[in-house]
Each structure stands twice: as structure tokens, then as C-alpha cells.
Amino acid sequence: MKQFKLPDLGEGLQEAEIVEWHVKAGDEVAVDQLLVSVETAKAIVEVPSPQAGVISRCFGASGDLLHVGEPLVEFEGEGEDSGTVVGNLGHASGTSDLAADDFIIGAAPSSRDARPLPVMPAARELARRLGVELGQLEGSGPGGLVTVADVQAADTQPTAGEALRSVRRTMAKNMSRAHAEVVPVTIVEDADLHQWDAGARDPMVRLARAIARACQAEPALNVGFDGARLSITRHQHIDLGVAVDTPDGLFVPVLRDVGNRDAEDLRQGLARLRADVLNRSIPPRELMGATITLSNYGTLFGRYASPVIMPPQVAIIGAGVIREQAVAHQGQVAVHPILPVSLTVDHRAVTGGEAARFLKALVEDLQAAE
């Protein structure tokens, strides 16, 4: 069967809608006789017959959308398909007898397929993630450029769930970015707190001091790492990010210069940060610039963890629940309060040896009586 396929009726048009057929199967037509009226994005166009012959089939009915390269009519008799688009396009392979319903799927081979579709890089990435087929899109940008909005509009599977907002949205984005970039290694140890004064159990202030001491012992973990330029910035001060859980999500306010502050100063600073976060009155600058982070989930539940490092930081310390535990002490089994400590480092910037030395200094400071 010889098929006449829908040509590009304008300049770079992709499709046309059938308005009205002027012939039907069985009709004999002459060259240039009017076959069908179609509407493109630009015009209503009368399509004449490219040849004389008897029509054996008309594809599609009024209102149907046909893509360029799809069959329009079929002529009786043998013969190769007539060209569609100007120039030197190939012909459809084989002579498949298309069922009336599936002509809309798949166009004839066309040089258009080899042409790069103009797509914004961000839109191309989004389409890849959403599984949107770019080839089907008509770009709304200049020169038919496919934009992010086009891809979003073409996403036929919008999420059924609730969209993330504000703090949780920021958390999701930051965590994705961190996870994509950081190479995390976790090492864990227990700190035996039996030397602590039984009444004075404020692990936050001790943890802050221990981290400061550990940074002084092993400065390699108090640095900023630029993965793109592969460079390290050594920090003069230790600014400790303190992860705070709130109903709205995760906040990490920053306790400044923990290396040069006494215990009382740290206690007051921590109390102020917590209160500000819970009141949602913390200024944005107080949430920026941490050089190392502490996640004290010990106030909640859990023993060890591998919390996520936020670049450019290279280390995060996790503190679990202090519990009474049977330990070997001076050749005897004894029951001591034990604080489980987890240290996660970015192995791109930190060696295993540096991590271990840091953790050792941290645990030793925690275990000290004062």
C-alpha cells in the first residue's frame, strides 16, 4: 500500500488537527485534488493529493491530532510511500498495515529525530528525574526552547502527597545535595562517664568542650572543603553547629568560638540558641557558618548514628542516650554511665587516622572528671 504522510505544513510544525475530510475510502482522486482540511498552530490548510489514485483508507477523523510523518491517506495498489517532509527523508520501514487506532503512535523516521531539541539544561534534568519524554514537548521559550515550566506542565504524574514547605523543603534539598557530594565514613566509641560528678550531668556543655579540644588536637576536622576546586580552608575558630529538633523540622544554630569560652558562657549560649530556635526568632546569620556540627539525639533516643555532613564542613559528631551499662573496670565488672559517640567524616578531606585521633581526644576529654 502506498501511504501519503502528513507533511510539515508550516515552518517546523509538529502536528495538525483534522478539520474535515473531503474524500473517503473508495474515492478516486486526481493530482492536487483537495483531500482534507487540517488546522495547524498557524493556519487552516487545505491538503491536496500528491498523486492520482483510489483512496483505500483515510487515517483519523475530525478532531484527531496527527503528527508530522504519520499516515494521512493510503492509496490502493502497490508502491512505495510518498515523501512527507521536504528533502531527503527516509521511508517507513516495511509496509505495516496499521490498525486504525495505533497510527498516532510513532512517526516515520525523520531527520527531526537527529536534531537536538532546544531544552534548558535545568529542564532536561527535571525531565530526566520526572520521566517526562522531551521529544513530545512543544517548548514555550524563545525559538521553541523547552523550559522548566513546560516540563512541569507535561508531568502527567503529579505527586499525590503533600508538598514540602519551608524548613522541611530546605532540609530535603540540603540533604540531597550533601548526600550527592560527601563521601562519609563513620567511626563509633563509648565514653565512660563514671568520673563525672553524679549531680552535674550536662552533656551538651561537656560535648561542646570535648569537640573543641578534639579540634585543637586534630585540626584536620575543623576545616572547609571545596569539592569543586579540591581545596581546604583551615578555620581559626571553632564554630559549632548544634542540631535542634523542632516540630517544623531540623535547625542547626551556631555556637560561636567554642574553643575560647568557659563552661558557664557555653551553657548560656546554648540556652539562648535553643530558645531562639523554638521561638522561631533566630536570625538567619546565626544559622550560618558552622565549622563542625554536633547532633545530640541523646536527648531523644538512640545509641549510634551516621548523621549527614553539610559541606563545606567535613565532620559531624553524634551523641546518643547516656545509659547505665556493665563495663570491665580495673578487672571487675562495674556499672557505669556510658555515652555512645559517633563521628562521621568526609573521607575526601579527612583520613581515617585523623578521624581516629580526633575521636580519641574527644572521648578522653569527655571521660575526664571536670
List residues binding another protein (CB under 8 A). Answer: 4-11, 32, 42-50, 82-91, 109, 111, 114
Distance of closest approach, residue 42 Cβ to another protein, in angstroms = 6
Identity of the residue, 50 or 312, whose beta carbon is nearer to another protein in the bound complex: 50
Distance of closest approach, residue 289 Cβ to another protein, in angstroms = 49
Identity of the residue, 66 or 294, whose beta carbon is nearer to another protein in the bound complex: 66
In this structure, what C-alpha cell is assigned to residue 345? 567524616
Distance of closest approach, residue 84 Cβ to another protein, in angstroms = 5
Distance of closest approach, residue 347 Cβ to another protein, in angstroms = 42
User: C-alpha angle with apex 342: 307 to 219, nearest 5 degrees?
Assistant: 95
Identity of the residue, 32 or 125, whose beta carbon is nearer to another protein in the bound complex: 32
Distance of closest approach, residue 108 Cβ to another protein, in angstroms = 10
Identity of the residue, 79 or 353, whose beta carbon is nearer to another protein in the bound complex: 79
Please provide the DSSP assignment of 69-94 as one string.
TSEEEEESS--PPBP-SSS-----SS
Distance of closest approach, residue 91 Cβ to another protein, in angstroms = 7
Q: Categorise residue 249: left if φ over 0, alpha if ψ from -120 to 50, beta otherwise.
A: left
Identity of the residue, 56 or 174, whose beta carbon is nearer to another protein in the bound complex: 56
Give 37-44 contacts, CB < 8 A, sequence gap 24+: 38/6, 38/9, 38/66, 40/9, 40/10, 40/13, 40/15, 40/16, 41/10, 41/13, 42/10, 42/13, 43/9, 43/10, 44/19
- Using DSSP's 3-state secondary structure scheme, residue 205 falls into helix
Residue 214: phi, psi to the nearest 5? -65, -35
Residues in the chain: 370
**Straight-line distance from the first to the last Cα atom of the chain, in angstroms, rounded to the nearest whole number:** 94
Q: How far apart are CA 305 and CA 302, in angstroms?
A: 8
Distance of closest approach, residue 70 Cβ to another protein, in angstroms = 12
Identity of the residue, 72 or 252, whose beta carbon is nearer to another protein in the bound complex: 72
Identity of the residue, 91 or 336, whose beta carbon is nearer to another protein in the bound complex: 91
Identity of the residue, 11 or 162, whose beta carbon is nearer to another protein in the bound complex: 11
Which ranges of the chain would DSSP assign to H, the alpha helix? 121-130, 148-154, 166-181, 203-217, 263-278, 352-367
Distance of closest approach, residue 344 Cβ to another protein, in angstroms = 48
Please provide the DSSP assignment of 271-308 as one string.
HHHHHHHHTT---GGGGS--SEEEE-GGGTS-S---PP
